Amino acid sequence: MKKLFITNYVGLASRLETLPLAFMLKDYYDYEINLDWPDLNDFNVVGTKKRKFQLYHRLNLHKILNYNHPDRLISFQKFKNLNLRTQFGPPDYLLNKYYLSTYRKLKLNPLYIDKIIDFFTNFSDSPVVGVHIRRGDFILEKGDNYDATSQESVSVPTWWYKYVMKKIVEREPTVKFFVSYTGLKSDYKEIFDNFDCIKFNLNQKHFDNSSGHHSEGHAVCDLFALACCKVIIASPCSSFSHVAVNALGNKSLAILPRNKMTKNNPEYGSLSIWGKQARNLWYDSCRTNKNWNPINSVKNIPNLGTPDYSWF
């Protein structure tokens, strides 16, 4: 049987974004999907196999490093083995029917399902807003300016998160903030000291392949827990934020900054591109504010709600 491999070549959410194209190729050319990932004890992808990529799989192998034209599908079928190493999928008219259906195939370890439900049950009387802060290999520009167009993968300054969280507290004083982040909790002292923040703690650790993705938290559990939140203060251009808001679980809404702003005039708005692949719509929208709707008053902040884990 012909085999398609996805190895541990990028972070968790970026790997997940390769799956819709994998299932598309499975349907078209009967490839068996094999995942060589370190976190498959934490979740399962229905319709795939856990298998190490071995040297002999390099025979008659083709690496898919980018995808930019539907005609390329024809060339893939002649290879016995494929190594899928890109988030860039085919156009929406080909991939749409695979996108959300693929994310429905993700099944969290039942042990973690119970822990997440028990965790959120402790706060069932309060609305919960997700917060995802991406740093690591995202560049954090020091100072009072933010410009998402200045370079690729720019991290949003802490002053913007504090501003938005303060506005949400004005709207709903009893709100809890579920915070997921790269790095250490001590890196975000201003956030945890000034707001009613909650954090999902596990004894188990999640091992990522890149220092740029390192966190003291558990990435899989954080991703699934974030996806339970109906409103998420997100990190622009982060596939982790995108998956939590627009693909995994039920529909959520992202709160994102204006692409260019200053500390003296911070701005925020909402973005919802539910069911659309990250490349390129999410990234373009974060950089250009396309599909972004400014929020000019705390009265216009969307309904926050309690976590929804019915989709588990």
Q: What is the pLDDT of residues 152-203, one digit of tens each?
A: 889 999 999 999 999 999 999 999 999 999 988 999 999 999 999 999 887 6
Sorted by sequence, the CB contacts under 8 Å of residue 113 that are 6+ apart come out as 309, 312
Residue 218 has pLDDT above 60, yes or no: yes
Instruction: Indicate whether 36 belongs to any domain.
Output: yes
Residue where one domain finishes, among candidates 73, 90, 108: 108
Of 216, 245, 210, the residue nearest 229 (C-alpha) = 245
Q: Report the half-sphere exposure of 56 (CA within 13 A, side-chain side).
A: 0
pLDDT attached to residue 300: 93
Residue 70 has pLDDT above 70, yes or no: no
pLDDT attached to residue 210: 60
Cβ–Cβ under 8 Å, residues 53 and 25: no
User: What does the mean pLDDT of the chain come to?
Assistant: 92
Same-domain status, 195 and 276: yes
User: What's the domain range around 209?
Assistant: 111-300
Same-domain status, 49 and 198: no
pTM assigned to the model: 0.95
Same-domain status, 197 and 147: yes
Q: Encoding tokens for residue 41?
A: 């004890």
Same-domain status, 54 and 159: no
Instruction: Indicate whether 312 belongs to any domain.
Output: no
CA 145/CA 49 separation, integer angstroms: 46
Residue where one domain finishes, among candidates 88, 108, 128: 108
pLDDT attached to residue 69: 67
Same-domain status, 60 and 171: no
Residue where one domain finishes, among candidates 87, 108, 129: 108
Residue 209 has pLDDT above 60, yes or no: no
